[in-house]
A and B are shown apart, each in its own frame.
Chain A
Amino acid sequence: MADDIVFDLLHSEIINYALEQTKTTNGSKEVDLSVVEYIGFAAGYKIMERLTREWPRFKDELDTMKFICTDFWTCIYKKQIDNLRTNHQGVYVLQDNAFRFLTNFSNGHQYLEYAPRYVAYTCGLIRGGLANLCINSIVTAEVQSMPSCKFHIHVQRT
């Protein structure tokens, strides 16, 4: 579908743009994807209000994570998270076996070193969404073999 691919293309162009920006400002080789992550954060934060409108009040944190895995993911990536694991102490691992931003260009190890660029936005998206649900977290992603991707959510408790 053309409308879906527009989102994907915009996403990859934003990453290119952000990389270009950091290159010109820093002049170093260090890749700073925080802007992409912030964009994801803002989007996740704002979209969450809309997505939870029809959803009953969350029972607890796990209930919220299940929502992220199902409805939230479906709305954005047209599929659900394939596997959710937790240690029940604030760490959640969400595994997507065919992560949308990776499926387009790789199936294995080619471009593996560039994978972090294509997960930053989504990390921010999850973090922003959770932030609006009053769950502060750190979200990191792990890509071992594309297009599979694991998102690690560490809930920050104060």
Chain B
Amino acid sequence: MAVCVAVIGKDNSPLYIGGIGNDPNADNELSRQWLVHTALDALEERLSTTNNSNTNSSTNTARADLRDLYLGLLYSTDTHKIYGYVTNTRIKLVLVTSSTSPGSNIRDAEVRTALRRLHALYADAICNPFHLPGDQITSLKFDKQVKSLMLNNV
């Protein structure tokens, strides 16, 4: 089960952070924000190595992997696993799973599917005429869809 899902803009500002937690207090939100914010370090590092290897023209297989929008597991802590996905428009999607809760053995393919669906939801969300690209996503429909994605899929 994903405990947190985030959409981060081109300028690294948070567009949406959604979490499912037992504890809806501010501390929980804070730790979620820290977690997602620091995940950007790993995302940026991953992207920069992608760019480098492009110019260095490494082997084809490695290249194919790096051209995948889904970046896979970024890193794991004692409590969480953090996955990343960067769209062609440099929107960053982050998915966090708990490594302590039961059923935490999630296959990579499931995470990939979930992130791709999140991307699709995002692509729909920015076509909302009331949404300004680059602003926080406040659509309730989007929130609901993402929450259900976090619960059902992964």
Contact = CB atoms under 8 A, between A and B. Distances in A.
Interface of A: 45-50, 52-53, 55-60, 132-134
A52 B91 CA distance: 12
A49 B87 contact: yes
Contacts of B90: 134
Q: Is the interface of A mostly helix, strand, loop or mixed?
A: loop
Given A45-B133, A53-B123, 4 more contacts: A46-B133, A56-B68, A59-B67, A132-B89
Interface residues of B, number: 23
Given A52-B89, A132-B89, A57 B126 contact: no
19 contacts: A46-B126, A47-B127, A48-B88, A48-B89, A49-B122, A49-B126, A50-B123, A52-B87, A53-B116, A56-B64, A57-B68, A57-B69, A57-B88, A58-B88, A59-B67, A60-B54, A132-B89, A132-B133, A134-B89
B119 A53 contact: yes
Nearest to B128: A46
A55 B88 contact: yes
Interface string B81-116: 000001111110000000000000000000000001
Nearest to A48: B89
